[in-house]
Amino acid sequence: MAKILLVEDEPDISDLITAWLRNDHHTIEVAANGEDAMTLLNIYTFEVIILDWMLPGVSGVEVCRRYRNRGGTTPILMLTAKTHVDEKSAGLDAGADDYLTKPFELKELSARIRALLRRPSAFAGTVLKVGPIVMDTATYKVSRTDENIQLLPKEFALLEFFMRHPNQVFSAEALLDRVWTSDSEASPETIRTYIKRLRKKIDEEGKPSLLGTVHGVGYKLVEPE
């Protein structure tokens, strides 16, 4: 599960990819042109960027180049109808990590995304473990000391984010940016509600909560010593 930025100006293709990736349990933000893509990249953090080559205004290659020039490190998958080797090389030289030639199979798109997420800077494995909590991101199963825990999709996404960043403090606003979409009506109160629900499901009776509150700052997943 990852937060992905999709930059695609053809509505039919964009809708198809968005529906497919959401079915894969990813959180998707969509931009239809290069300018909007740069705006989103300036505000939010993503785990993968899917970037169409041919965009109105600022091209996908230029978006890629600008993003890399300002220090952006998120893996970029370029979508292109171009098949010439020199043209593909231009995209890779601009900072793209991989490319997929249109038309393509959606299953291949998913496989390319999984490969990008497996890179050390963005991925810690399919099985995450913090204290007694074990999460398998491939099968969407969570357990505590071998006891299965049933989580709603957004509970799973929030817990996964914490488990990928143990002992790091995140404000409610940062969690909204990383786990929810920008058009969501979720608020800091939503985060508090989800934190309470997760505590009830993952904490062990009589033991300190794994989800700690840093008063005035935010929340963190405490990795037991």
Structural domains present in the chain: 3-117 (3.40.50.2300), 127-221 (1.10.10.10)
- For residue range 41-84, list pLDDT tens digits in order: 998 989 999 999 889 889 999 999 899 888 888 999 999 876 65
Supply the pLDDT for residue 52: 93
Q: If you average pLDDT over residues 192-205, what whole number do you get?
A: 95
151, HSE (Cβ side, Cα atoms, 13 Å): 31
- Top pLDDT among 85 and 148 is at 148
- For residue range 117-136, list pLDDT tens digits in order: 877 554 445 688 898 999 98
Q: Which residue matches tokens 């290069």? A: 34
Supply the pLDDT for residue 86: 63
The vertex-30 CA angle with 57 and 83, nearest 5°, equals 60
DSSP conformation letters of the chain: --EEEEE-S-HHHHHHHHHHHHHTT-EEEEESSHHHHHHHHHH---SEEEEESS-SSS-HHHHHHHHHHTT--S-EEEEES---HHHHHHHHHTT-SEEEESS--HHHHHHHHHHHHTSTTT---SEEEETTEEEETTTTEEEETTEEE---HHHHHHHHHHHHSTT--B-HHHHHHHHS-TT----HHHHHHHHHHHHHHHPPTTS--SEEEETTTEEEE----
Supply the pLDDT for residue 137: 84
Q: If you average pLDDT over residues 4-24, what whole number do you get?
A: 95
Q: What is the mean pLDDT of the chain?
A: 89
Q: 127 and 134 in contact (C-beta within 8 Å)?
A: yes
Q: If you average pLDDT over residues 161-182, what whole number do you get?
A: 91
Q: 34 and 57 in contact (C-beta within 8 Å)?
A: yes
Supply the pLDDT for residue 125: 55
- Rounded Cα distance between 130 and 110, Å, is 27
